Structure 1
Amino acid sequence: MKLVVVSAGLSVPSSTRLLADRLAAATGRQADVDVEVVELRELAVEIAQNLTNGFPGRRLAAAIDAVTSADGLIVVTPVFSASYSGLFKSFFDVIDKDALTGMPVLIAATGGTARHSLVLDHALRPLFAHLRAVVVPTGVYAASEDWGAEGLDGRIERAAGELAALMRGLSATRRPAPDAFTVVPFAEQLAAMTEGSAN
């Protein structure tokens, strides 16, 4: 299965990327996954250009293709002004609104204080619910004091286990976008039912 990790960290090294890597590793211990990481920092210019001209650059197009063709996503953003970063939101703004329908998603965020932990339920979860993704019950927030402290590892493992289970259960049954459904005229349906009852 293909697991794509979207990291919106801006610095190098980045606590956001560190959390993303730990979540991916934990998921890999519970499911057979091939991991691909999308670093939004490297795509910032192309994302801005796509927002203004409507066309993705080569690297952005590859990132969008990776995300939309994944069996599961891990998305991690730093907290800015009590919400996800503008770069994070802009990336998902350039993805077709139906492309993540049924996609298993693990949401996570990093911040300087535990007071911003509500970003998971007040910003990230509504965003992916709007995109009709399937968000795992456990989100992971890591404040500065959480690194090396008791509790973070347990949350990571629990969330990763939920994502692995969803990926196994949903990857083969993701519903296609509405325009991919085949509409069968009622007359044909009726003929098929009549033929079946005659046998």
Structure 2
Amino acid sequence: MTTLAVVSAGLGRPSSTRLLADRLAESAAQALGGDVAVETVELRDHAHALVDATLTGFPSGDFRAAVQAVTGADGVIAVTPVFNASYSGLFKAFFDVIERGELEGRPVLLGATGGTARHSLAIDFAMRPLFAYLRANAMPTAVFAASEDWGSADTALPDRIARAGAELAAAIGGRPAAAKADPYDEPVPFEDLLTGR
């Protein structure tokens, strides 16, 4: 059985961060096929235990189980709201608690939410360096969802979610993601273009 751990740092209920995390998990699970177990860690529910673990250096109780779910998963989906142009403090504190080397080589799909699209670069200048330091394998496609992406028919959000989920599934399976067919692989000969064939 393949295991996916989903880390959601959303603060509200309902939360657009959790909504994005769930959509990414559904996409990855569908791309994986077969038997997939998804474990969602809502950091909001562990806020006090997270502070205790930061102070003591030892996670305990339900929070310890949450950390083990993430460090033992085949793949991780990590989603945060963007505050002050970066990930939330709760999100950072969680990954500070994880022991060095625990996520080394682990496929990780990054996601973030924010009020406007101008916050989307937080994934590249804040989240990617964090997971590079942890030596995790961050997927090439990350997904940012602004408020206007929800409920709009002409958004590319579903396509980005599908592509990111497929990349995570491929990385978990140890194979490269299937590339789209290149329309230039078999070009029409120039002579045929000239004669209209």
Structure-1-length-normalised TM-score: 0.84
Tell me what 1:178 maps to: none
Deviation track 1:115-160 (CA, whole Å, cap 9, x = no partner) reads 0000110011110011000011000000001112320000000000
2:130 pairs with 1:152: no
Distance 1:2 1:17 in 2: 18
Distance 1:109 1:60 in 2: 23
Three-state SS of the structure 2 residue aligned to 1:73 is strand
2:67 is aligned, of 64, 69, 76, to 64
Tell me what 2:186 maps to: none
**Unpaired runs of at least 5, structure 2:** 176-197
Q: Cα RMSD over matched residues? A: 0.9
Distance 2:59 2:30 in 1: 34
Distance 2:165 2:45 in 1: 26
Tell me what 1:128 maps to: 131
Correspondences of 1:31-46 after superposition (within 5 Å): 31=32, 32=34, 33-46=36-49
Tell me what 2:80 maps to: 77
Tell me what 1:165 maps to: 170
Distance 2:8 2:159 in 1: 21
Three-state SS of the structure 1 residue aligned to 2:10 is coil
For 1:24, the aligned partner's letter is A
Tell me what 1:103 maps to: 106
Shift of 1:57: 2.0
Tell me what 1:28 maps to: 29
Tell me what 2:190 maps to: none
Distance 2:150 2:30 in 1: 21
Three-state SS of the structure 2 residue aligned to 1:126 is helix
Shift of 1:167: 0.5
Shift of 1:53: 1.7
Three-state SS of the structure 2 residue aligned to 1:169 is coil
For 2:165, the aligned partner's letter is A
Tell me what 1:4 maps to: 5
Distance 2:51 2:149 in 1: 33
**Unpaired runs of at least 5, structure 1:** 171-199
Q: Give the structure with the higher percent helix.
A: 1
Shift of 1:169: 0.6
Q: Structure 1 residue runs of 4+, over 4 Å off?
A: none
Three-state SS of the structure 2 residue aligned to 1:62 is helix
- Percent of residue pairs bearing the same amino acid type: 60
Distance 2:112 2:124 in 1: 11
Three-state SS of the structure 1 residue aligned to 2:38 is strand
Number of aligned residues: 170
Distance 1:70 1:78 in 2: 22
